[in-house]
Structure 1
């Protein structure tokens, strides 16, 4: 077990007890000053203060429910493309937050663009699944940690890149996560997070509300259809309210937020990032088509037929022409990438 640890795995760590350097040796890892040492579980360094806290996600069913396997090959390429457009020829070291089952991690390991990968999650079960998935692939390139992203044990200015894919909207205090990400990023480095954005979801709520009222007027609205349309209509306001509420109430909610782009831009500036961009990729859909796809997705999740939406094709077409084109929103996707430059 100890032999799997590499010198660079601990060179970035500071002791949570006394803030001294943590070093690795053949027998494991330890603080030079106070002899504190973390538990190492199957090659995963456990740096959690609260070992009872875990993910709300269904670890065993997560990959299938989110079509993870189909995304693996392309996902790391998206992050590479973002960074190349920012002028990066390669990234020396990466800190990945909320790695889950290793969907993005696997791609990062396969890419020569990313050199050292320091991947993390709060869940031991997810990290064990990640280790099983990546196996012995690139053992000299990967270090695995269990930690709380809001209180991570890395030195200030340790990483060229901090990233997370679909993680911030699960975290009740995601602003602290971004502050910590800023702290451990080197000057000139980047933090990149793929997240759901509110701009497109607002329109799905608007169209769902219109359809709900029209269906009620027709007298053809059954209970599953009513519940789905009501949830869609209310979702943007509920998610926005989450941002402004007492977030202790959100601890048992999996998907807590959809992020307004302007809110994230203002947050970026307040934390101290030099610049902020929201980037969308490979969109060949109009605003109306994106909105239709979002609504259909909810109906598919509850296994309810959405064929009736064809009766409302004119609404999605009007949305594209009246809002998408003049507001230049046809290139914004429901899931986009926040790029913070330090």
Structure 2
């Protein structure tokens, strides 16, 4: 009898822990949009791999692998078909996070699959953006598509993954012993939108710096830095690589700060709260000042250089104009948006507390 009772208790424990349905909090509209974008991107990837499998080649349409790589695959069609199946699985995983049938999947199982799919899809997006030729003289629709679709894919998978973790975490807390089920969705307040946007900016910056630290060059040549530091970046000097890793660590601090500003971890003590607000206001001031152009690069300096009003040595004129162009259309808007989000998030956090 004791053996049977122990076996029954073990089965019950397994059902309550490993087989317990996730039942996440219902997804909001922006999360559903992100999930649909993730599904669409995965299906496009699947179609591209099916196309390459039909042609018996390795790579992507318009970007086949070099002959030396093609020779390494005895059956390239099968390899591409396998990649197509992975894309289909990724689409199902993203769909499961917002679909009703996905509510019955255990949290640990879907969260594990989601993490793997998000990492693989994000790496693919980074590779796709890295191969784009972003030189103004050669900029074409293919490069624009690679950058836009890759950026949207990165953001969408990040939103889907973080949202599912938070929504299932909220329900798990509500269903834990002693709490009882609330039946309602503990949705984040509108005041957390700015903090979430700052989190996304910090995460994007950290991923770019991580790519640089690991040997990638995504947007490196478009970085608004002087010629000598740019050469250090391209040559991967020890100081430049150390700076990349320091930036990754700083981005992680920014992610943690943004999560605190969103109210995910409850109230802080006076000292930590003061440090959080001081750092947020300092980041806001620096980023907005940099975007406007009061220190070095920014809107004011970019317009001056592109209009031919700046004093630039003739040897660096082409480089300066190229950097001013990308700073005007990419970096300055990014820093302005990032800094504004920090300021709004800190202001609302201060009022809410």
Report the TM-score range of the alignment, normalised by the length of the smaller protein. Answer: under 0.3
TM-score for both structures, normalised by structure 2: 0.25
More helix by share: 2
